[in-house]
Amino acid sequence: MPKEGKVEIDDIVRGHVEFENALLDDFVLMKTSGVPTYNFACVIDDHLMDISHVIRGDDHLSNTPRQIHLYKALGWGYPKFAHLAMILGPDGARLSKRHGHTSVLDYRADGYLPEALLNYLALLGWSTEDSQQLFEPKELIQKFSLERCTTSPSTFDPTKLLWMNGEYIRKKSAKDLIETFSGWLKATNQEDLIKGWDKALIEKTITLEHEKIKLLKDIPGLIDFFFTDTVKYNEEAVAKVFRTDIAKMVLSEGIKKLQNQSDFSPEALEKLARDLAQEKGIKPGQVFHPIRVAISGRTQGPSLFHMMEVMGKDTVLKRINTALEKYFK
């Protein structure tokens, strides 16, 4: 290695960088095993593959002057360099395995969409002038530039990634989401999760919960109560909603009215429930909540009356009757 002069680099991200040759050591090119070292191998590889740009983390910045000396010694031109800032974990330490997922396959298994993950990764250390967050893939390609990458480390925020994935799921049409979900089940060998479930009912129930889905893996747990003959009642839901005389009255009176209800549209069902509340001098919520827990076993879920429409009259009546026999005898 030369002992005088310096290596100057116009890094696309970091700007003009200089290295004094006197501070560079005589580094090893070949190990005793006959295997070339990283600095030697990557120069040969990049030249033979006609690499025009080397884009890597700034922890490799110190390797660049050594590699440039090798390019010059071999009589070759060298590529342009762009050294990106490191990515940190939420705790401020360099991102590593201990921060969670280590493979893109782990993210796929959890139900992250490829386009959401790509969008999020692009924003780690880069932004547009107007701080746009969501991009179509072609738009991202068009707008991305190395020159706008920051030299400051960025933080990998799982919460933001989850939010972004939910946004991408909500952008999909119901039809596209169902196709994506089906493809994900097959790709991750999880088709048994919906084994025996009616396909048409799956489509209807996914549509009901579309706005709440953040990960594809959430879907079975959000809609599974539609596909069982035995409702699994959440203990907290039962304790919160059923342990009142009003709940028993609502279910007893509600089942009588629903038996005579020919119009099972959401609008008609809501009117029936509100009329019952007015008739008994109670709040509408005191009618809605017991019915929800009786037919789903939960306090959370899709719009109550749309859920009842999808379940159908026979199933709704059966489940309310089951709840009365189980909890109010």
Q: Mind listing the pLDDT tens digit for each residue in 312-327?
A: 999 999 999 999 999 9
Tell me the average pLDDT across 112-123: 95
Residue 225 has pLDDT above 90, yes or no: yes
* Mean pLDDT for the chain overall: 93
Q: Of 53, 84, 115, at which residue does a domain stop?
A: 84
If pLDDT is split at 50, 70 and 90, which confidence band does 35 have? very high
Cα–Cα distance measured from residue 158 to residue 172, given in angstroms and rounded to the nearest whole number: 22
Domain count, the chain: 4
Same domain for 156 and 202?
Answer: no
Residue 256 belongs to a domain with what CATH number? 1.10.10.350
Residue 169 has pLDDT above 90, yes or no: yes
Is 284 within a domain? yes
Tell me the average pLDDT across 36-52: 97
Q: Of 203, 227, 251, at which residue does a domain stop?
A: 227
Spot the catalytic one: 97, 138, 195, 329.
Answer: 97
Tell me the average pLDDT across 18-31: 94
Q: What is the pLDDT of residue 292?
A: 97
Residue 25 belongs to a domain with what CATH number? 3.40.50.620
Q: What is the pLDDT of residue 306?
A: 97
Same domain for 217 and 241?
Answer: no
Q: Which residues form the domain of 117?
A: 97-163
Q: What is the pTM of this model?
A: 0.83
User: Residue 137 has which token pair?
Assistant: 């893939």
Same domain for 212 and 181?
Answer: yes
Same domain for 152 and 108?
Answer: yes
Q: Which residues on neighbouring strands pair with residue 80, listed in sequence order? A: 53
In single-letter form, the type of residue at position 105 comes to: L
Same domain for 222 and 240?
Answer: no
Q: What is the pLDDT of residue 95?
A: 79
Same domain for 219 and 242?
Answer: no
Q: Of 163, 186, 216, at which residue does a domain stop?
A: 163
φ, ψ of residue 83 to 5 degrees: the values are -105, 115
Residue 135 belongs to a domain with what CATH number? 1.10.1160.10
Instruction: For strands 80-84 and 53-57, give the pairing.
Output: parallel
Cα–Cα distance measured from residue 124 to residue 89, given in angstroms and rounded to the nearest whole number: 12
Same domain for 215 and 149?
Answer: no
Is 57 within a domain? yes
Q: Mind listing the pLDDT tens digit for each residue in 89-105?
A: 888 888 777 776 778 89
Q: What is the pLDDT of residue 90?
A: 83
Residue 6 has pLDDT above 90, yes or no: yes
Q: What is the pLDDT of residue 285?
A: 95
Is 289 within a domain? yes
Is 323 within a domain? yes
Residues 21-44, buried b or exposed e (16+ Cβ, 10 A)? eeebeeeeeeeeeeebeebbebbe
Asked which of 83-87, 102-106, 134-138 is least confident by mean pLDDT, the reply is 102-106
Q: Mind listing the pLDDT tens digit for each residue in 179-204?
A: 999 999 999 999 999 999 998 999 99
**CA-based angle 195:167:203, to the nearest 5?**
30
Residues 126-148, buried b or exposed e (16+ Cβ, 10 A)? bbeeeeeeebeeeebeeeeeeee
Same domain for 207 and 142?
Answer: no
Same domain for 220 and 240?
Answer: no
Is 91 within a domain? no
Is 1 within a domain? no
Is 89 within a domain? no
Cα–Cα distance measured from residue 107 to residue 266, given in angstroms and rounded to the nearest whole number: 37
Cα–Cα distance measured from residue 276 to residue 53, given in angstroms and rounded to the nearest whole number: 71
Q: What percent of the chain has pLDDT over 70?
A: 99
Same domain for 220 and 261?
Answer: no
Q: What is the pLDDT of residue 97?
A: 73
Residue 310 has pLDDT above 90, yes or no: yes
Same domain for 113 and 158?
Answer: yes
Is 282 within a domain? yes
Same domain for 321 and 242?
Answer: yes
**230 near 315, Cβ under 8 Å?**
no
Q: What is the pLDDT of residue 22?
A: 94
Query: Is 97 part of the annotated catalytic residue set?
Result: yes
Name the nearest CA neighbour of 216 among 246, 255, 176.
176
**87 near 122, Cβ under 8 Å?**
no
